[in-house]
């Protein structure tokens, strides 16, 4: 085993999760008057906007339900998950499980159901909430939402798609999320459908979006799997690529396929090295596979979720394969993440840094950042480090 005090590291992640991050969301985000959660929270946790975004509502329901199922059924966690789930059940969809993107505080729809990730996180939320409560209605919501996702898979935005058929690119994100969602919802769907979904996801991620000539996952391809020499066709999102590798590792473990795990680890290592800022440290948000100027003005920002997902992937890669290179990357990103994203004065973590690692936005939550990547990452790393510490003792 490596010369690392895994027990000490595990305690740091555990303490941050239970003593800092979870109390912040329990205390600051719950809307006990209208239901659901506030996610637009400033540095101290005060609400600065009351709109509610469905994918962030679903993520928070999922997070507290998951903790009830995998750690302990604490009453405050369960109640938090149920009240958020009830808000989603009543107001989050159009009656046919088409999930809106945004609601008013009271639950009136603001943005139509154009975003497929409102659906994916609603399915994850109700799958875990049904386990935590035994409520069959929640299970049925998860199943029906999963059906809607599969129906829309070939055209995720449906009638809200702005793209013409001249360059009909398909994106990586949904296949990536389905790799994770399949395992989240497997207790609710037919085994044959589960296996079919897993097979399709693995094919898309590893045979279509993974490009051996680059050693990287690309964000968009043409319908025939070819690359497009365009802004979107050249786009590399290191965070997405690395996050997907730990989903693949989980599938590889589930399927008893060490070859899949090993390949995922190698992709994670290649992507981290490719995305690492050699001048200021940290991982870039967006990159162009040909090194061309990019359309995203925020391309060089350092985002919380990118680094947290990288820590999970590298630690999981080390735990599953013993790769010292993966452990070294975990330690490097761990040092950067804790020294730059953790707020030393107030609970929860910063989300957005400039290229030099300085805080751009002092918010703790908003339209895109909620109760998800930080607590999920702390939970994943805590569990993995505990397992490694136990192996060290033996």
44 burial level (CB within 10 Å; 0-12, 13-18, 19+): middle
CATH number for position 34? 1.50.10.10
As a whole number, the mean pLDDT across the chain is 96
pLDDT band at 392 (very low <50, low <70, confident <90, very high): confident
> How far is residue 143's CA from residue 218's CA, in Å, rounded to a whole number?
30
- The pLDDT tens digits of the residues spanning 236-251 come to 999 999 999 999 999 9
Residue 159 pLDDT: 82
Which residue bears the tokens 């405050």? 76
> How far is residue 233's CA from residue 245's CA, in Å, rounded to a whole number?
21
Which residue bears the tokens 């100027």? 293
Neighbouring-strand partners of residue 30: 37
Cβ(245)–Cβ(265) under 8 Å? yes
1 located within any domain? no
A 10 A CB-CB count for 213 gives 6
HSE-CB for 131 with a 13 A CA cutoff: 22
162 located within any domain? no
- The pLDDT tens digits of the residues spanning 153-207 come to 888 888 888 888 899 999 999 999 999 999 999 999 999 999 999 999 999 999 9
CA dihedral 26, 28, 30, 33 (to 10 degrees): 140
Classify residue 378 as left (phi > 0), alpha (psi -120 to 50) or beta.
alpha
Residue 288 pLDDT: 98
Residue 91 pLDDT: 98
Residue 154 pLDDT: 85
Residue 393 pLDDT: 58
A 10 A CB-CB count for 225 gives 12
- The pLDDT tens digits of the residues spanning 319-346 come to 999 999 999 999 999 999 999 999 999 9
CA distances in angstroms from 253 to 38, 220, 257, 316, 382, listed in the order given? 36, 27, 6, 11, 19
Residue 165 pLDDT: 84
Residue 299 has pLDDT above 80, yes or no: yes
Residue 3 pLDDT: 83
Number of domains in the chain: 1
Residue 2 pLDDT: 55
* Residue numbers of the domain that contains 149: 6-157+167-393
Cβ(34)–Cβ(43) under 8 Å? no
Assessment of whether the complete model's pTM goes beyond 0.85: yes
336 located within any domain? yes
pLDDT, mean of residues 59-81: 98
pLDDT, mean of residues 74-97: 98
> How far is residue 359's CA from residue 369's CA, in Å, rounded to a whole number?
15
pLDDT band at 389 (very low <50, low <70, confident <90, very high): very high
pLDDT, mean of residues 30-58: 98
- The pLDDT tens digits of the residues spanning 239-295 come to 999 999 999 999 999 999 999 999 999 999 999 999 999 999 999 999 999 999 999
271 located within any domain? yes
pLDDT band at 71 (very low <50, low <70, confident <90, very high): very high
> How far is residue 32's CA from residue 76's CA, in Å, rounded to a whole number?
13
């Amino acid at each position: 085993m490596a010369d690392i005090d895994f027990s000490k590291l595990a305690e740091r992640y555990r303490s941050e999760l239970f003593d800092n991050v979870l109390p912040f969301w329990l205390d600051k985000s719950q809307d006990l008057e209208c239901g659901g959660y506030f996610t637009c929270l400033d540095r101290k946790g005060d609400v600065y906007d009351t709109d509610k975004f469905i994918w962030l509502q679903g993520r928070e329901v999922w997070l507290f339900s998951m903790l009830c199922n995998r750690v302990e059924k604490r009453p405050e966690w369960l109640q938090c998950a149920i009240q958020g789930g009830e808000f989603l059940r009543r107001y989050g969809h159009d009656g046919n499980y088409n999930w809106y993107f945004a609601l008013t505080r009271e639950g009136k729809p603001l943005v139509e159901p154009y975003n497929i990730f409102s659906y994916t996180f609603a399915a994850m939320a109700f799958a875990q909430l049904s386990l935590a409560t035994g409520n069959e209605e929640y299970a049925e919501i998860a199943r029906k939402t999963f059906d809607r996702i599969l129906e829309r898979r070939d055209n995720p935005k449906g009638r809200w798609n702005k793209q013409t058929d001249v360059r009909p690119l398909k994106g990586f994100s949904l296949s990536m999320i389905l790799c994770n969602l399949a395992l989240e919802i497997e207790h609710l769907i037919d085994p044959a459908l589960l296996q079919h979904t897993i097979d399709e996801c693995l094919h898309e991620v590893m045979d279509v979006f993974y490009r051996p000539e680059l050693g990287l996952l690309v964000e968009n391809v043409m319908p025939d799997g070819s690359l497009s020499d365009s802004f979107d066709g050249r786009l590399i999102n290191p965070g997405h690529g690395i996050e997907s590798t730990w989903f693949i590792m989980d599938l590889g473990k589930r399927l008893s396929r060490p070859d899949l795990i090993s390949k995922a680890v190698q992709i994670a290592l290649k992507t981290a090295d490719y995305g690492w800022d050699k001048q200021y440290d940290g991982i870039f948000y967006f990159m162009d596979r040909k090194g061309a100027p990019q359309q995203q003005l925020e391309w060089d920002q350092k985002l919380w979720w990118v680094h947290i997902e990288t820590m999970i992937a590298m630690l999981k890669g080390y735990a599953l394969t013993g790769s010292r290179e993966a452990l070294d990357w975990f330690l490097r990103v761990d040092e950067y993440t804790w020294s730059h994203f953790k707020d030393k004065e107030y609970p929860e973590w910063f989300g957005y840094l400039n290229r030099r690692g300085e805080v751009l936005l002092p918010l703790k939550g908003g339209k895109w950042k909620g109760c998800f990547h930080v607590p999920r990452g702390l939970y994943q790393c805590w569990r993995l480090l505990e397992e490694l510490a136990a192996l060290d003792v033996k």
